[in-house]
Structure 1
Amino acid sequence: MRTASVKDVADRAGVSVGTVSNVLNNPDRVSEHTRERVQGAIAELGFVRNDAARQLRAGHSRTIGLVVLDASNPFYAALARGAEEEATAHNFSLLLASSLEDSRREARYLDLFEEQRVQGILLSPVGESAPRVTDLAHHGVNTVLVDRDAETQDYGSVSVDDVHGGRIAVEHLINTGRTRIAFLAARSELRQVADRWRGAQEAVAAATADGRDVSLERLEADALTTLSGRAAILDLVQRDRLPDAIFCANDLLATGALQGFIMDGRYSIPEDVALVGYDDIEFASSAIVPLTTIRRPAEQLGKTAVRMLLGDTASERTVFEPELIARASSTPR
């Protein structure tokens, strides 16, 4: 059975092919009466537009590609939700991909999005991004980094000041009377993790300079996940002396850490160990011990990145300030 064409729709509706094209692509240019006739013909004939052919003619599609580090992380799910809402408001669709923190997988998705002639790409990169983003720009594909500051002035970014976030997290722990602080992290090559560690170090250095007896150690988990956080704590509790505070690189690790302490049963949060996470995912406030965390505006990051990509500000840098959200997991001693 032959698929209905644009010409078939035009003949059925008694209009020109150009009018059908306007109804499909620029409906505001066509009167309501004519739109209804054309849409009626489309429904009768079962017409489905050939978007691939339209992309070839236009040189790009009405889609935006988004590559995040881990789509299963609620933070990136919220970021994608914000990006999708903003894209939809501009009559664009969002294609979501997860690199799983694998640079080769990331490269494959970037190639795929370029082949699909997306309008642009939002990228939360695994590593160094400048060479690939520059290549995309030379091929006519604009890119905006999300959750990472741009490395050059050649493209834009929407990020959060994670150094400041790490600093205020540890300052909070010090101000609640904690002196033996640990930073629980994984994937230290990720810029976000490295920046939070740097901020933690700055906070301890400042406290030490003021004469306070504060120490900082680093604990490594296998991944930035709940299960890895739990496993790290179940190993930690075998030590003779524990830190009295743990700052986790994200809320998933912190959630796992909380589970680990509960499973072990010998230590209480926050009486024995204070706990601080990072991101303020939805679960943080409803955990069995509500989690103190550093809030990043995930949805706003996604929305801002789409506006930059579609507007005239695709080479700008926007940096949001993180916010400490104090809850029961780190109450003062």
Structure 2
Amino acid sequence: MTVSVKDVAAAAGVSAGTVSNALNHPERVAEETVGRVRRAIRDLGYVRNDAARQLRAGSSRSIGLIVLDMRNPFYADVARGADGRAERDGLSVLVSDSARDRARERRLVDLFAEQRASGVIATPLTPDLEPFERLAARGVPVVLIDHDGVSDGLSIVSADDRKGGRLATDRLLGIGRRRIAFIGGPRDLRQVRDRYEGARRAVDAVGGATLERIDVDDLTVAHGRAAGEALLARPAAARPDAVFAANDLVAVGLLQALAMTGDVRVPGDIAIVGYDDIDFAASAVVPLTSVRQPAQELGATAVELLSRPPGEHVRFEPEVVVRGTA
């Protein structure tokens, strides 16, 4: 049997309106009465009909979070930071994965609108922000993560990927490496483009340094391993002496491929720098040097921006965490 507000009111000896106030505005109700209502709720096993409340209020107490790829631990850290900050405000975070599919991204935006989300946070797939701008025009706060553009009505929280790419490559150049390869892809992914551009600027500033671009279809361990196997198939003299991987998953796959042969020393023969500084980076077979993005801070700050006027852009600075690979 479903327990109603009237049942709770009868058990607590108050009106249904008092139960509603005790749940939604406890500061308006005597402390002793709030206690009686809460005991009745616990004893009866009452569960609020939040769907009905959302219809009355016009929004839910949930935030929609759309990320590019939940396989990447970086986005799990973003979600953790968002969830921790939202909990302080009595909000929940619903996480969805666009899987880098434009049609799926649009469906998720529409779904969160239908669910009356109190705000939406997203890592957009392309520079075309029309779905998010349309959502903001309907009065739903929208914050973009890891985006480097400007849009009326939307707030942004990001880290400087061009600077991160330059820092990674400067580290490799600083330890004397001159034949550097960048492994990343796909090329239309903004984060990949910006990290490569930062690497290019660093190499262009050093005489005698070269930058080879090695494209992969996806930023996964498997694709990093395949890229490593392709490097191993080359004569030793044709291999780079350093690799900047577009993210840590690619770097870990590369490291696995090189370590399995035992013929290539890391960092002696090939130094490696990854990107994102995921938890696994520190415990790789050779602890991975990586560019750290403050993933949890990105998520937490995005939640904070939902309650501020739109149009704000908060940018974090990346930093290199030096470990065993470079």
Contact 2:137 2:153 in 1 (8 A): no
Aligned residue in 1 for 2:310: 314
**Within-5 A mapping of 1:1-333:** 1=1, 3-207=2-206, 212-240=207-235, 241-310=238-307, 312-330=308-326
Matched residues in 2 for 1:39 and 1:251: separation? 48
**RMSD of aligned alpha carbons:** 1.3
Contact 1:229 1:255 in 2 (8 A): yes
Matched residues in 2 for 1:326 and 1:313: separation? 38
Range with greater deviation from structure 2 (275-284 or 232-241): 232-241
Structure 1 position 42, deviation (Å): 1.8
Per-residue CA deviations over 1:33-73 (Å, capped at 9, x if unaligned) read 11121122223333221111100000000111111111221
Matched residues in 2 for 1:154 and 1:202: separation? 33
What is the DSSP-based 3-state SS (H/G/I as helix, E as strand, rest coil) of the residue aligned with 2:150?
A: coil
Structure 1 position 221, deviation (Å): 1.6
What is the DSSP-based 3-state SS (H/G/I as helix, E as strand, rest coil) of the residue aligned with 1:174?
A: helix
Contact 1:277 1:293 in 2 (8 A): yes
What is the DSSP-based 3-state SS (H/G/I as helix, E as strand, rest coil) of the residue aligned with 1:61?
A: coil
Runs (5+) with no aligned partner, structure 2 = none
Structure 1 position 196, deviation (Å): 0.3
Matched residues in 1 for 2:291 and 2:137: separation? 37
Matched residues in 2 for 1:249 and 1:177: separation? 21
What is the DSSP-based 3-state SS (H/G/I as helix, E as strand, rest coil) of the residue aligned with 2:276?
A: coil
Equivalent residue letter for 2:265? S
What is the DSSP-based 3-state SS (H/G/I as helix, E as strand, rest coil) of the residue aligned with 1:219?
A: strand
Equivalent residue letter for 2:35? E
Q: State TM-score, norm by structure 2.
A: 0.96
Per-residue CA deviations over 1:239-285 (Å, capped at 9, x if unaligned) read 12100000000001000000010123321100000000001111111
Structure 1 position 129, deviation (Å): 4.1
Identity score, percent: 52
Matched residues in 1 for 2:103 and 2:228: separation? 31
Contact 1:161 1:322 in 2 (8 A): yes
Contact 1:130 1:151 in 2 (8 A): no
Per-residue CA deviations over 1:279-331 (Å, capped at 9, x if unaligned) read 11111112121111101000100111100102x2432000111001111101x
What is the DSSP-based 3-state SS (H/G/I as helix, E as strand, rest coil) of the residue aligned with 2:303?
A: helix
Per-residue CA deviations over 1:202-223 (Å, capped at 9, x if unaligned) read 111111xxxx201101111221
Structure 1 position 160, deviation (Å): 0.4
Q: Residues 315 and 194 of structure 1: is their aligned pair in 2 closer, same or farther, counting only changes over 3 Å?
A: same
TM superposition outliers: structure 1 runs of 4+ over 3 Å: none
Equivalent residue letter for 1:288? V
Equivalent residue letter for 1:275? I
Equivalent residue letter for 2:289? T
Q: Residues 72 and 32 of structure 1: is their aligned pair in 2 closer, same or farther, counting only changes over 3 Å?
A: farther
Contact 1:149 1:317 in 2 (8 A): no
Q: State TM-score, norm by structure 1.
A: 0.94
Contact 2:243 2:271 in 1 (8 A): yes
The count of residues paired between Structure 1 and Structure 2 equals: 324
Structure 1 position 154, deviation (Å): 2.8
Matched residues in 2 for 1:32 and 1:222: separation? 60
